């Protein structure tokens, strides 16, 4: 009987710890999920500028060293995870220009970067179907997303 009581207590402590981590502690420390992929050898990067009138312009990195610079820029961002409802409150929707990007590793692994608007360039969403990827909304802590730098790196070539 004592073993069941201790086992129940241990399970409750573990579940409470997981709940606290997932809902409070995780959002207190900077984390950049792209950093784990900086050593990938073959990457492509697509970047789209979506205009308010519904038109979009998509560019692609033309050279491996350019894609490396983009990956380096993205992995060096100081990101703080945000809860989805907090991020939704910070984002400005409407008739604005926004940007999306996609990192493609090999043939199947992709990381998507979206919800980057000109009005809120310090909030972005990073997500991926890769198992174990910590996706969600992130706030850039020490700067703003430099979409002009990324757009200039990718060039003016449409895909």
Give residue-wise pLDDT tens across range 12-34. Answer: 999 999 988 888 888 888 999 99
Residue 85 lies in a domain: yes
Q: How far apart are CA 115 and CA 88, in angstroms?
A: 10
Burial code (b: 16+ CB inside 10 Å, e: under 16) for 36-45 equals: ebeeeeebbb
151, burial (CB in 10 Å: exposed 0-12, middle 13-18, buried 19+): middle
Predicted TM-score (pTM) of this structure: 0.82
Using the predicted structure, report yes or no on whether residue 75 has a pLDDT greater than 60. Answer: yes
For the stretch 57-70, pLDDT in tens is 888 887 888 888 88
Strand 79-82 and strand 98-105: the pairing is unpaired
Residues 42 and 21 occupy one common structural domain: no
Range of the domain at 11: 1-30
Residues 72 and 150 occupy one common structural domain: yes
Phi, psi of 101 (to 5 degrees): -140, 160
With tokens 């100081």, the residue in question is: 78
**Per-residue pLDDT averaged across 117-145, rounded?**
89
Residue 159 lies in a domain: no
What domain count does the chain have?
Answer: 2
Residues 37 and 92 occupy one common structural domain: yes
Which pLDDT band, with edges at 50, 70 and 90, does 156 fall under? low
Instruction: Tell me what the pLDDT averaged over the chain comes to.
Output: 86
Residues 17 and 37 occupy one common structural domain: no
């Amino acid at each position: 009987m004592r073993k069941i009581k201790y086992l129940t207590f241990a399970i409750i402590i573990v579940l409470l710890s997981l709940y606290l981590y997932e809902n409070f502690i995780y959002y207190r420390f900077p984390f950049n999920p792209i950093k784990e992929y900086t050593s990938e050898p073959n990457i492509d990067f697509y970047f789209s500028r979506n205009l308010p009138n519904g038109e979009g312009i998509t560019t692609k990195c033309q050279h491996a060293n350019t894609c490396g610079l983009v990956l380096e820029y993205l992995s060096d961002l100081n990101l703080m995870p945000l809860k989805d409802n907090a991020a939704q409150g910070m984002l400005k929707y409407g008739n604005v220009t926004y940007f999306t990007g996609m990192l493609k590793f090999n043939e199947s692994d992709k990381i998507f970067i979206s919800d980057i608007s000109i009005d809120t360039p310090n909030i972005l969403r990073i997500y991926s179907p890769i198992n174990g990827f910590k996706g969600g909304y992130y706030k850039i802590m020490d700067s703003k997303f430099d979409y002009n730098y990324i757009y200039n790196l990718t060039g003016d070539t449409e895909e």
